[in-house]
Amino acid sequence: MSTAVEQRLFALWETPKTLKGHLSTVDHKEIGKRYIATAMIFLFVGGIEALIMRLQLARPDQAILAPETYNQIFTMHGMTMIFWYASPILSGFGVYLVPLMIGSRDMAFPRFNAFTYWTYVLSGVLLYISPFMGQSPHGGWFAYVPYTNVPYSPGWGMDFYNTSLILLTISTTGGAINFIVTILRLRAPGMAVSKMPLFLYSTLTVSFVTVFSLPSLTAANIFLELDRRWATHFFDVAHGGNVVLWQHLFWFFGHPWVYIIFLPATGMISMIVPVFSRRPIVGYAYVAIATVLTGLVGFGVWVHHMFAIGEGHMGMSFFSAASMTISIFTIVQVFAWLATVWKGRPVLTTAMHFAIGFIALIVVGGLSGVVTAVIPVDWQMTDTYFVVSHIHYVLVGANMMPVFAAFYYWTPKMTGRMLDETLGKISFWIMFVGFNLAFFPMHLLGVLGMPRRIYTYKPGLGWDSINMLITVGAFILAFGILLSLINFFWSLRHGHLAGKNPWNADTLEWSTESPPAPYGSVHIPTVVTRHPLWDEHEEEEDPSDERVLDQDRLTLSSTWLDAETLALARMPEDTILPLLLALGFFILFIALTFQWMWVALGTVIYSFAIAAVWFWPKPEEGELA
């Protein structure tokens, strides 16, 4: 391949390294890295909040935090971790990897991709304005009414909760639509649905789940904000409102959200385990089907968060049964991974350590989940540390562990440098030990009756030494994470060069340079099997240079089932409009927080004007009749 072609592609796709270039780039690789870095920052902020809480709880009758401060910190910890870390980090890997995995030059809507990133950051900024006012949300991450209504929460905290979540929802839903259209329309020729990498299955599934579940949260947030500042009565029992309505709306979103956090992580594991077992995954079709079914059945289990409020017997039995059913789909995946390791020749790299550590933790977290799906047990355990333990096994175990596996596995692709394996393994073992030390004893603490969300407790209840142990574990876990961070910055300069495919992996992203050129691969690849880089087929074989597409910013679009090439997809240029639009939304939601309605009206007009410019036909197209 002549370098002239590469130069042309470079000129078409490269973003200039200027301030304007950085602010207006629509390159999915750049945006994906930003997603990951931003989510990591939120992980550290949320982690520091957790450590402060653990200091407070380490011994009985501590007074490091005032009760109100404690409430604010545990709420911010929950919101930060669940909304601003756990899902965006997976979106980040998705935004970076999906176009490379499907052999496309970018996402389906590159400018919209930039917009969803900026709204994500700015929604986090909006949330973190509140601590500086001393009025953070303090009602827990699920913010049950009536406590979160104005008479009991008069400050601005819960208003920040509502507005920042609605803004984040816009970002997340937009990102999900982008993933759906990208995966369904831009796959490389030949990558039929039966040949898609499993990460695409999980990303596609959660994108659909996002589209249909998040509006429920938006409705709940709108109702609560109207109740709080506009004197309506959605949740006001005295005027015919219903407080349980909040719980239904929230959990109809909330439980699918658990799978939004969980499934892409399993998708990553389904990519990593086979590569380091040196064989294709066992039961590809079953894993794919289990992924889709988890997303689907995930819509039918939300009431298991509400067993304690007293619903009808029939209803509760149904949701109990559905909650147990859904564990079957997870178990299908677990056995597929185990069988893959069993039948393969495992290589214990750091990524593989994290992957296998994840399998151990998800089994524990899944089992405590099945236990709490049993209604009598749930009545006993609800609002105790048993549930805290369960949620952390599921969310930390099944999100953070795969994310670190992915971090060790894909960072060489993103930076071009290998991370240090020895330091990585040390980091893994410290994290794994710290994690179990911190969260396993919480099961016991729950059985011993310690309620969640108390800011301190009296000595002599049998909780003292366990709490101290948990705090020590939390700090060990934090130290392990810190080691991985050090590893990353050290490797940026000193790591071995990665080359194209350091792990001898099978999927298309490893056929590009590390880090990939702005245009991905020179020839849009073609695919004939599930394992493009392990088979005999030469992906970039293209004797007459038909798939170079160096006339303009172009990529191929294909049919959604069989991925037969359909047409040329034209990709937009870099533009600063996404940032301008996101800023408009940001100011709009600040205004809505404080009911500055004229400012809100102004920003709506501004946003519409920006959007109108965004979608205005370009003048230069006239010469192309």
**List of residues contacting other proteins (CB under 8 A):** 4-5, 8, 108-109, 112, 173, 176-178, 180-181, 184-185, 211-216, 218-220, 222-223, 226-227, 230-234, 236, 239-242, 244-245, 248-249, 252, 544-552, 554, 556-557, 565-570, 572, 608, 612, 615-618, 621, 624-625
Provide the minimum distance between the beta carbon of 108 and other proteins in the complex, in angstroms, as a whole number.
5
Query: Minimum distance from CB of 390 to other proteins (Å)?
Result: 27
Q: State the minimum distance, in angstroms, from the CB of residue 306 to other proteins.
A: 13
Please name which of 404, 485, 482, 471 lies closest in space to residue 442, comparing C-alpha atoms: 471
Give the whole-angstrom CA distance, residue 543 versus residue 536.
Answer: 17
Nearest alpha carbon to residue 483 among 438, 419, 440: 419
- 315 burial via Cβ count (<10 Å: 0-12, 13-18, 19+): exposed
Measured from the CB atom, the residue of 42 and 250 that comes closer to other proteins is 250
| Number of other residues whose CB lies within 10 A of the CB of residue 598 | 8
Q: How far is the CB of 283 from other proteins (least distance, A)?
A: 30
218 phi/psi in degrees, rounded to 5: -60, -45
Tokens, residue 501: 């495919």
- Which is closer to other proteins, CB of 349 or CB of 526? 526
Minimal distance, residue 170 CB to other proteins, in Å: 10
Identify the DSSP state of 140: T
- End-to-end, the C-alpha distance of the chain in Å comes to 32
Q: Closest CB to other proteins among 312 and 376?
A: 312
Give whichever of 313 and 493 is closer to other proteins, judged by the CB atom.
Answer: 313
β-partners of residue 558 are 565
Would you list the DSSP string of 449-479? Answer: TPBTT-S---TTSS-HHHHHHHHHHHHHHHH
Whether the upstream peptide bond of residue 543 has omega within 30° of 0, thus cis, is: no
Residue with tokens 């240029």: 573
Length of the chain counted residue by residue: 625
Least distance in angstroms from the C-beta of 559 to other proteins: 11
In the complex, the smallest distance separating the C-beta of residue 298 from other proteins, rounded to whole angstroms, is: 15
Q: State the nearest-atom distance from the C-beta of 61 to other proteins, in Å.
A: 42
Nearer to other proteins, 548 or 591 (CB): 548
Nearer to other proteins, 12 or 127 (CB): 12
Q: Based on CB atoms, which residue is closest to other proteins, 28 or 417?
A: 28
Measured in whole angstroms, how far is the alpha carbon of residue 206 from the centre of its chain?
10
Closest CB to other proteins among 36 and 217?
A: 217
- Cα–Cα distances (Å) from 603 to 160, 577, 578, 579, 587, in that order, read 18, 15, 15, 14, 7
User: Please, what is the minimum distance in Å from the beta carbon of residue 611 to other proteins?
Assistant: 9
Greatest extent of the chain over all pairs of C-alpha atoms, in Å: 83
Q: For residue 560, what is the DSSP state?
A: T
Tokens 């997870």 belong to residue: 330
- Judged by beta carbon, residue 180 or residue 445, the one nearer other proteins is 180
